[in-house]
Amino acid sequence: MMKAESYVTSLFSLKGRVGIVTGASRGIGAAIAEVLASAGATVYNFSRHPHEQNEHNCTKIIDATVDLYDYQTMQTAIGDLVEKEGQLDFLVNNAGISYKARAEIFPDDEYQKIAHINLEAVLKMCTLSYPYLKKSKYTGRIVSISSMGAYMGFSGVVPYCMTKSGILGLTRALAEEWKNDNILVNSVAPGWFLTRLNQKMFEEHPDRKYSALNRMMLNRFGDPKEIGYMVLFLLSQASTFITGQDFAVDGGATAHGY
């Protein structure tokens, strides 16, 4: 009989699994990739930039140069991965971009970039991965990164909030459409995390840092690996009865009252 500790450890092991994290070069994406690789998975970073490995983490992430504006490079990279590894078990759609401007003067070209990377490329990654995920012996998994901006209004980033809300619709619709195809589809909504981008913004606008901290029940910023832990759960054998859901990892921000 397996001991309780060994049983729990086995539930969260990703040993033998192969998957993709888009935009895993740095920030939240890099942290997700490192957590998954530490759990035993073979993780491919689909990005235009190589993974910036944490100096305290010896885990190797495999870089695959992929331009999410170019569907052909996406298809080729997925095909090359499957040819090399013989399988594809999970896809984490992490890559995302934003741009700050009021809605009435928002540049059309910036909107098109945001709509493509945050939503259209996510759908394309899902459909290109579908033929391989449905064959996974572990049950194929898709986890997309949404945002608390899918639930809350933020001034100056309307297209970002709009596309992240679209991730919720995409998650639920794919979960329904692929429910009989051996694939579970979920999403994770991060709150405020001290990534390089956010740190720079807070340095330039200290008032925003105070406002963000005041919004979170836990009164602290998240560690990017805390997103990785939720993604690990959703890829593990501990989440086999969960699909079509979005999970907030935001220190209580979206539940915060006044």
DSSP string, 165-180: HHHHHHHHHHHHHTTT
More confident residue, 17 or 206: 17
pLDDT digits (tens, 9 = 90+) for 35-84: 999 999 999 999 998 898 664 454 679 999 999 999 999 999 999 999 99
Active-site residue numbers?
A: 160
- Closest by alpha carbon to 33, among 98, 95, 85? 95
Q: Where are the alpha helices (DSSP H) in the chain?
A: 4-11, 27-38, 71-85, 108-115, 121-133, 158-177, 196-204, 206-215, 224-235
Both tokens of 25, joined, read: 């070069």
The SS3 of residue 226 is helix
The answer, yes or no, to whether residue 201 has pLDDT greater than 80, is no
Q: What is the pLDDT of residues 224-241, one digit of tens each?
A: 999 999 999 999 999 999
Q: What is the pLDDT of residues 128-139, one digit of tens each?
A: 999 999 999 999
- Asked if pLDDT for residue 141 goes beyond 70, the answer is yes
Domains of the chain: 15-193+223-250 (3.40.50.720)
pTM of the complete model: 0.94
**DSSP 8-state class, residue 241:** T
Summarize the confidence of residues 97-117 as an average pLDDT: 96
